[in-house]
Structures are given as structure tokens and as C-alpha cells.
Structure 1
Amino acid sequence: MKNKTLLQSVFVSMVLLSCTNDSTSDLIENDIQQISYTNTVKSIIDNNCVVCHAATPINGAPMSLTTYDDVKNAILTQDLLDRISLPQGEAGMMPSGGTRLPQPIIDQINTWASQGFNE
């Protein structure tokens, strides 16, 4: 029984000691893909906004959101980020008459803008 306890103690010590890292050179980098219009934002806009913000806007939409330049301009000059960030049911919330976009989706668009509008 004494040998079993000693063996367990040695094993636990080895496991705990092997979980240390004294150097950053052997860490694995997490390759997080940078958000871009093409790989992230375009599909969000196409699936949630282009119904009204088409090449020829309908239902009172003031501008098209069908291209990179359209979306970037709407963020910079038309308060798009503010409109999609309004609480559900508040006047001016987009998508108009629909359900507010989930916060993680809004966060992706905010990140895209803050990272410099990568195409």
C-alpha cells in the first residue's frame, strides 16, 4: 500500500511539473483570421440588409449596401453601426421591422471597422 501511495505521488508530481512553460518560444500561436468585408461582413449584410438596401433601395432605405464601398460609407457617414446597435424595438433600429442582429454579429462589424475596413 505504501508503494502504491508513493507511486501515485510521483505520478501526480510529474503531471503537475510537466504542465509548466518557462519559455514563450515553444508556445503555439493562435492564428485568428482577421475580419474582412469578403470573408465576414458581406454575408452579414447580404443576409440581413440587402432585402431593402439593394442596388436600388426599397421600403424607404436611404442607400444601397451591395458593395464594399457602400457598406464602408454607411458606417462612416450614415451611422450604420449605431442603427444596428439600437435596442430591439427602438425607433431607427435596423433591420427595420425585424429582429435586432445578435450582439456577436454586431461585434464582428464593429471589429471590421476598427481594424480599418479590410476588404
Structure 2
Amino acid sequence: MKKIIYLLGTILFMTSCESRTYDEISNNETITDIVTYNKNIKTIVDANCVVCHSPTGSASFQPFTNYNQVKNNIDNIINRIQRPNGDPQKMPQGGSLSANQVDFFIKWKTDGLNEN
């Protein structure tokens, strides 16, 4: 009898847990505050763009290592990150930003491209 209760308790525990990854949680984040480069955009750029868009990267001709470089290229960045999968000009190469990350770039532009 103890084994049955233990088994049912284990099954109940296992099926009642919700498993969500960090990406799933952050992708559902609603953007309500003003988006700024330092608070929101820089981390996305550093994690997804700088590997190529740096002085030593394959896209060194167009670095994105500081606020002015990203701000001055925002229209091109938004265009490239919104392209469909399979488009050779989609960025980042070999991957995609989440819809939420794309929304941050769009809102940053709408909010006035604030640095801080």
C-alpha cells in the first residue's frame, strides 16, 4: 500500500511541474518601459552580433561594439533581423533572435534610440 501511495505521489508531483526555459520566459516578456541601449539592446548585440560585428570579426567593416555604431545602423539591423529564415541576408547568421528581442530593437527605435 505504501508503494502505491508513493508511486501516485511521484506521478502527481512529476505531472504537476511546469518546465520552462529561460528563453521561453524572457520571450514572453512584455515591453512596457522605455527601451535603452545600455539597459536592453547592448546585451542582445553582445550575445548575438559582436562575434562577427567587431574589429576582428568577419563583418569588421561594420562593427557594432558601441552605442553610436548600433544607433547609426538601426534601420539595417531591424531589416536584417526580421528577414525570414533561409534568407541569406538574415541576421544573425545561422540563427534568429527571438520575437521579443526583435521587438526590443523596434521599440528602442520608436522610443528615440536612448543610450541610458
Shorter-chain TM range is 0.5 to 0.7
The CA distance in 2 between the partners of 1:70 and 1:113, in whole Å, is 14
Matched, 1:99 2:95: yes
Unaligned runs of 5+ in 1: 1-31
Count of paired positions: 84
- Residue 87 of structure 1 is matched in structure 2 by 84
- Residue 34 of structure 2 is matched in structure 1 by 34
The CA distance in 2 between the partners of 1:115 and 1:107, in whole Å, is 12
TM-score scaled by structure 2? 0.67
Unaligned runs of 5+ in 2: 1-31
Shift of the 60–45 alpha-carbon distance from structure 1 to 2, 3 Å rule, reads closer
- Residue 50 of structure 1 is matched in structure 2 by 50
Shift of 1:81: 0.7
- Residue 8 of structure 1 is matched in structure 2 by none
Larger relative contact order (Cα-Cα within 8 Å, sequence gap ≥ 6): 2
- Residue 18 of structure 2 is matched in structure 1 by none
SS of residue in 1 equivalent to 2:102: helix
The CA distance in 2 between the partners of 1:57 and 1:112, in whole Å, is 27
Deviations 1:5-64 (A, max 9, x none): xxxxxxxxxxxxxxxxxxxxxxxxxxx43110010000000000000111x152245311
Give the aligned residue type for 2:83: L
Give the aligned residue type for 2:103: D
State the identity %: 35
Give the aligned residue type for 1:68: Y
SS of residue in 2 equivalent to 1:51: coil
SS of residue in 2 equivalent to 1:108: helix
TM-score scaled by structure 1? 0.65
